[in-house]
Chains A and B, each alone.
Chain A
Amino acid sequence: MPVLKGKELRIVGFLCNWCSYGGADTAGVGRFNQPTDLRIIRVPCSGRIDPLFVVKALMNGADGVLVSGCHPRDCHYAEGNFYARRRLEIMQRFLPVLGYEAERFEYTWVSASEGQRWQQVVASFTDQIHKLGPAPKIIGPQAADTLNQMAAAL
């Protein structure tokens, strides 16, 4: 797959230690080409992810957030990802009310052996974020700082 042209965007990935982080590793070991916008943060389980991490990341400058865990029924802790699925789903549906497109955030499942799938997920998510462009950013402490800039951009 071609390296994305133009400016890199910032994508934060939260990956569970047992499956998806291993999957990303497998993709690396297999030398699968991947876009480099994604920055990975390893967490013990997708159930560890407070959906507020997603908002915190977006509000502090991320353009997209990806969460990846073990496939359902395959969680290292048996049910972490089942809880995660519910939490993340409502957060994804909540985002638009804040003024972020729901597509800026996705959650998915990648196992440690799925290097190929990991490559595909990263590539298509990065593509999705590039289609949306940079996320709205909060600049400066006062609302006016951001609002004036937004008005000027129009």
Chain B
Amino acid sequence: MKFQEELKDSIRKALPDLDVVLGWCGSFDPLHATPHFIRREEDIDKLEISPLSVHNLATYLPGLRGKKVGIVVKGCDSRSVVELLQENLINREDITIFGFPCTGVVDQAKIKKALGHAGNVRTCDISDSAIVIQTEDKAHSLTLTQMLADKCRTCRYPDAIISDYFVGDKIGEPAPLETDYAALEAFESLSVPERFGYWLKELDRCIRCYACRSACPLCVCRDHCAAESRDPHWLSQENNVRDKVMFQVIHAYHMAGRCTECGECQRACPVDIPVLMLKQKMNREIRDIFQYEAGVDPEATPPLLSFNMEEENITEKEW
């Protein structure tokens, strides 16, 4: 990325006053990046910003409370930071935000599908329009826009919403590649039994590792999650599809009015369960009723923490 050196310079300047700066670096194969914790000057050189920088690093912020933390954010990640600030879960003065103009990150599941198998990647070169991946027996050339995560294809916030340092030129409001919630609307047009059966089928393979929860930047209960609580006993420990669905409903509802649709829940799932759709449904309803979008205004009050005596968009049932 063009601005990467500029970003490194900004981090170099800020690092003496910070305990750690969160960024990304290379991982176990050329197709993956991994969160990178920059503590020392020499760590800065390993920093790499690319369409592989998929992780939402805001997830680490509440756990680093009390430390001086720098964080490199994509536009979507900055919304999680805003939401955390809004909920007083982090202190603004402890956080130094490094923004850059994000042109989208990949969806590893899409790449895996396009390659057939992603276990033997030798090299991966990403240009503005293409990803060229060399596996042991073949070179694959993939169109970048097709490999982008769905959230990037509908992105309206490519530049960090808040930042202390911003490198590169801001993109402004891009033309989305897709309309919001198209997949959700297609799903909603299915019949009742189809929708009911879909979640049973998809969640049957859930192993209850709770990576969806742990990767979520706004799942801030951490070690005190309802999923494992015995009292109240929301869920049994059985390998039961009912409990698996129920947990996803709990997650979606606890995110109502807070979720920024960063998609970490779905990305983290080791068995590729499409759990983001439940949160999207919640968000779309909240947008329709309250004209509210989470994580764009640090001063805003989330809709479920306030009320109006007369609700404009709620029509109650007449009996």
A and B bind: yes
Give the tally of cross-chain contacts (CB within 8 A). Answer: 120
Chain A: residues with Cβ within 8 Å of the partner, total of: 43
Q: Are A73 and B317 in contact (CB under 8 A)?
A: no
User: How far does the alpha carbon of A51 sit from the alpha carbon of B308 in the complex, in Å?
Assistant: 19
Of the candidate stretches A5-13, A28-36, A97-105, the one touching chain B is A97-105
Q: Are A56 and B195 in contact (CB under 8 A)?
A: no
Question: Does any Cβ of A come within 8 Å of B187's Cβ?
Answer: yes
Q: Are A94 and B252 in contact (CB under 8 A)?
A: yes
User: How far does the alpha carbon of A122 sit from the alpha carbon of B21 in the complex, in Å?
Assistant: 59
Type the 1/0 row for A90-131, where 1 means its CB is closer than 8 Å to any CB of B: 110110111111000011110000000100110010000000
A residues in contact with B198, CB < 8 Å: 99
Smallest CB separation, A89 vs chain B (Å): 5
Q: Are B239 and A96 in contact (CB under 8 A)?
A: no
Of the candidate stretches B72-80, B212-220, B282-290, the one touching chain A is B282-290
Q: Are B204 and A144 in contact (CB under 8 A)?
A: yes
Question: Does any Cβ of A come within 8 Å of B188's Cβ?
Answer: yes
B residues in contact with A94, CB < 8 Å: 252-253, 281-282, 285
Question: Does any Cβ of B come within 8 Å of A42's Cβ?
Answer: no
Type the 1/0 row for B238-275, where 1 means its CB is closer than 8 Å to any CB of A: 11111001100110110010000000000000000000
B residues in contact with A107, CB < 8 Å: 316-317
Q: Are B307 and A56 in contact (CB under 8 A)?
A: no
A residues in contact with B60, CB < 8 Å: none
B residues in contact with A90, CB < 8 Å: 256, 282, 285-286, 289, 304
A residues in contact with B309, CB < 8 Å: 72-73, 82
Q: Are A106 and B200 in contact (CB under 8 A)?
A: no
Chain B: residues with Cβ within 8 Å of the partner, total of: 46
Chain A residue nearest to B244 in the complex (CB) = A143
Type the 1/0 row for B193-209, where 1 means its CB is closer than 8 Å to any CB of A: 11111111101100000
Chain A residue nearest to B238 in the complex (CB) = A141
User: How far does the alpha carbon of A72 sit from the alpha carbon of B196 in the complex, in Å?
Assistant: 34
User: Which of B184, B200, B277: most chain A CB closer than 10 A?
Assistant: B200
Q: Are A99 and B319 in contact (CB under 8 A)?
A: no
**With known contacts A94-B285, A108-B319, A99–B307 Cβ distance under 8 A:** no
When A and B form their complex, which 5 residue pairs have the shortest distance between CB atoms, in order from nearest?
A: A99-B196, A143-B204, A99-B195, A82-B307, A143-B200
A contacts, CB < 8 Å to B: 51-52, 55-56, 59-60, 72-73, 79, 82-83, 85-87, 89-91, 93-94, 96-101, 106-109, 117, 120-121, 124, 136, 138, 141-144, 146-147, 150, 154
